[in-house]
Structure 1
Amino acid sequence: MKKMNMTIILTVMTAAVLSAGTIGSSSVDVDKFYSLEDMFRYAMEDEHMALAEYEAIMEKFDVDRPYANIAKSEETHISYLNKLYETYGFDIPRIDTDAHVVIPSSLAEAAQVGVDAEIANIAMYEKFLDQDLPDDVREVFTFLKNGSENHLASFQRQLAAGGGGRFRSRA
């Protein structure tokens, strides 16, 4: 059942972004085997996309929470992935998110974007964790998946509250 749900989620997320091109978790196929370098690339794209979207939402709506805390977490996720790239001798890619970031029209829509993005991110890490991985990679992917589960809970709470965020201090 869990695999079927993951398949459905990834299929829906992939279909939703095909018109804008694919990047990150939206590119992951549940039936495919991925090399470490491929997994690192998709994970890096996904973490950069999340960071770019959350920063754009904070800017457009002049809100902090939950986006500021989650954006800081995404930066930490990127740093963990950078370390994996270095450990395994892969070149760290430059991730261009500009063509892929879609800014929602409301905070409620932004909360739903956060929910959808974190669900896809979790599914991607679950797919990767199903493969035979070196211990350090498994540890990092598990950490990143757990972080996304926390982010998902934050966005679900925000959505349940009508999507509102906390405004920045204008002091």
Structure 2
Amino acid sequence: MASKRLFASVIIAAGILAGPVNAASTLPEPVQEALVTALEDEYHAEAFYDAVMEKFGSVRPFSNIIRAEQLHQQALITIMKQYGMDIPANSQLNSAEIRAAVPATLPEACSIGVKAEIDNAGLYTEKLMPAVKDYADITLVFKNLSDASQLKHLPAFQRCAG
């Protein structure tokens, strides 16, 4: 429920429902790359969490956080469409490489989740946010997604990892 509220607030606060803002051809390449990178990061998280649940069943926190990752993807896809960008498919779902990365135990999988959320913070802080600093709507979406990862996902994985 909180994830749905976050998605709704991201969409409303960013003004995304107002119609197209700019064509992708006018959006600088670094901004487009930042959006695609953010979406691919969300895709990777969904694929890994899906693989974990394939191995261990629909267990928390993975069952909750995968839904949040899908909402994060929708927020990014919405703003990318707003700017007329093409949306890449999630080619990572069901990949053999990601399935092979699932460890033997659930606490180990949660430890990987902890690392992924910490890495996610660095990605947003060091690379993505600086690339979109001139775009308040995209910055807001990125900030909300980063905050959700750090304030909700990271603590859940830390509890699970023990």
Query: What's the offset of the Cα at 1:100?
Result: 4.2
Q: Structure 2 stretches of 5 or more lacking a match? A: 1-28
1:139 maps onto 2:140 in alignment? yes
Judging changes above 3 Å, is the alpha-carbon distance between structure 1 residues 99 and 35 closer, same or farther for their aligned structure 2 residues?
Answer: farther
1:79 maps onto 2:74 in alignment? yes
For the residue of structure 1 that corresponds to 2:59, the secondary structure is strand
TM-score by length of 1: 0.70
After TM superposition, the structure 1 = structure 2 runs for residues 104-143 of structure 1, keeping only pairs within 5 Å, are 104-127=103-126, 128-131=128-131, 132-143=133-144
Query: What's the offset of the Cα at 1:134?
Result: 0.8
After TM superposition, the structure 1 = structure 2 runs for residues 156-167 of structure 1, keeping only pairs within 5 Å, are 156-160=158-162
CA distance in 1, matches of 2:146, 2:97: 22
1:43 maps onto 2:38 in alignment? yes
Please tell me the residue identity of whatever aligns with 1:155: F
Query: What's the offset of the Cα at 1:99?
Result: 5.1
For the residue of structure 1 that corresponds to 2:89, the secondary structure is coil
Please tell me the residue identity of whatever aligns with 1:144: L
CA distance in 2, matches of 1:133, 1:110: 37
Query: Whose helix fraction is larger, Structure 1's or Structure 2's?
Result: 2
Root-mean-square deviation (CA, aligned residues, Å) is 1.4
Aligned residues: 127
Identify the residue that residue 60 of structure 2 maps to in structure 1.
65
Identity %: 36
Greater length-normalized contact order (CA 8 Å, ≥ 6 residues apart):
2
Structure 1 stretches of 4+ moved >3 Å: none
TM-score by length of 2: 0.74
